[in-house]
Amino acid sequence: MRTYTSKKPAGRRSCRRAATGFTMVEVIVALALFGITLTAIFGAMRACSAAAHRARMLTGSVLLAESLLAETKLDENPVFQTRQGRDNLYSWQVQMTPTPVENLAAVRVTVEWPQQQRMQHYELVSLVHIKTSIEGK
């Protein structure tokens, strides 16, 4: 803001302000700073929203994979095979394969979902003890 002083005799010094207000340059600079700030804020909000969506989808895939693994572990008659299915946005696959160790099977659960025009996936691998017919009696 600009202030103007009037020239008075040396004994009487006083400052006077002319019309109060902002110059056009000050208004333009303030609007430019406001625009830059809003752009940064909206960019940060968009990034936070995308991160929250990714976290939500990843959490859902982890819960689904753990649920499928628990079902496989609780199966009374496990079979070495591959099962597939869909659950809302997620597609999943459970693959049970034998290992060199007797009474032990490897279970691989893969969950996929679409996000930002590409497929994301989560994979859970575990070993499962298989009860033989002799152990079950």
Give dist(CA 84, CA 3) in Å, integer. Answer: 78
pLDDT at 1: 56
Q: Are 95 and 107 in contact (CB under 8 A)?
A: yes
Question: Of 26, 29, 25, 48, which Cα lies nearest the Cα of 37?
Answer: 29
Secondary element (H or E) of residue 119: strand 118-129
CATH number reported for the structural domain that contains residue 126 in this entry: 3.30.1300.30
Q: Are 99 and 105 in contact (CB under 8 A)?
A: yes
pLDDT at 116: 82
Q: Which domain holds residue 36?
A: 4-136
Give dist(CA 75, CA 124) in Å, integer. Answer: 18
Confidence of residue 108 (pLDDT cuts 50, 70, 90): very high
Q: Answer with the residue of higher pLDDT: 58 or 18.
A: 58
- pLDDT above 90 for 52: yes
Give dist(CA 81, CA 96) in Å, integer. Answer: 5
The total number of structural domains that make up the chain: 1
